[in-house]
Amino acid sequence: MLAVPALLYGVGVPVAEAIPMSLLVVAVSSAAALIPRLGAGQIRWRIAGILGVTGAGAASAGAAVNRLLDPRLVLAGLALLMIAAGVRMLTTTDAIGGDCALPEVVVNWRGCLPRSIAAGLTVGFLTGLFGGGGFLIIPAFVLLLGLPMGSAVTTSLAVIVINSTSGFAAHLGDTPIDPALTLAFAGTAVLGSLIAGRVAHRIPTTRLQHWFAYLVFAVAAFVLVRAAIAGAA
C-alpha cells in the first residue's frame, strides 16, 4: 500500500517501474518481518498456503490487466480500494470467529476452504493489478475469515511474500528497474519491518485495526489528489 505511492511521489519513479519495484520490496520486507514471528504460533499455515497458491496465479492475471490500463486509472482504483477497506476495518470490530477461527484454533474446512480460495483469488489479482493490493490480506483475514488480528497480521506476511514474488515475476521484463534504488528502498523497509515487529504485539487489537484504517485513508487521499493533479496537467 505504501510502497507504490512512496516510489511515485517520494522518489519520482514512473508507475510502470514503481509497481514491480514495490512488489519486490514488499516481498523482501515481509519476509524479514515474518522471520522473528515464526515461533509465536500465530501463523495459520494451511490458510496461508491456500491464499498463497490461489493468489500466485491470480497475480499474473492482474498484471496482464494492468498493462492495458491508463496509469492514472490504476492509481485511482487503488485509492478507492484503500478507502473501501478502511471503512470496513473501522465499522467491523466483532468479526472474529467463524469456520476459519473456531475455538482452540480449529478450522471447519467445509466452510473455510471456499472463503479462503475466494479471498486468495481476489487479493492475488488486485496485488498484480495495483502492485499494492497485498494490504487487503489483513482485512480479508479479519472480515472474511474471522481470524483475530494477531494471527491475521502474522499469517498475512507469509501470503504477501508469495503473492508479491509472483506479481514481481509477472511484471518482470515490462520495464527496467533501478537495482541500487530498489536495494536501498528494500533495506530501509526491512529495518522498519523489524522495528514494527517488536512493538506490534503490545498494541491492543482494536486500536491496531483502527490505526490501520486511518493510515489507509491518509494514503488514499494523497494518491487521489496526486492523480487528479496529474490528470489536470
pLDDT tens digits, one per residue of 127-138: 788 866 667 787
Q: Is the pLDDT of residue 95 over 70?
A: no
A 10 A CB-CB count for 9 gives: 13
- Give mean pLDDT, residues 161-166: 82
- Give mean pLDDT, residues 144-148: 80
**pLDDT tens-digit series, residues 180-215:** 888 888 888 888 877 877 776 677 777 877 887 888
Q: Quote the percentage of the chain above a pLDDT of 90.
A: 1
Note the Cα 14 to chain centre separation in Å. Answer: 20
Q: Is the pLDDT of residue 24 over 60?
A: yes
Rounded Cα distance between 49 and 124, Å, is 13
CA distances from 138 to 165, 180, 188, 231 (A): 18, 30, 22, 31
Contact criterion met (CB below 8 Å) for 155 and 48: yes
With vertex at residue 69, the alpha carbon angle to CA 19 and CA 183, rounded to the nearest 5 degrees, is 10
Enter the DSSP assignment of 147: -
With residue 18 as reference, give the H or E element that holds it.
Answer: helix 15-34
CA distances from 54 to 13, 102, 108, 138, 216 (A): 30, 23, 19, 16, 25
Note the Cα 207 to chain centre separation in Å. Answer: 19
**pLDDT tens-digit series, residues 33-89:** 888 777 767 788 888 889 888 888 888 888 889 888 888 888 888 888 888 878 877
Q: Is the pLDDT of residue 102 over 70?
A: no
pTM: 0.67
Enter the DSSP assignment of 38: G
The widest CA-to-CA distance across the chain, in whole angstroms, is 56
Identify the domain containing residue 185 by its residue range: 3-232
pLDDT of residue 92: 62
Domain count, the chain: 1
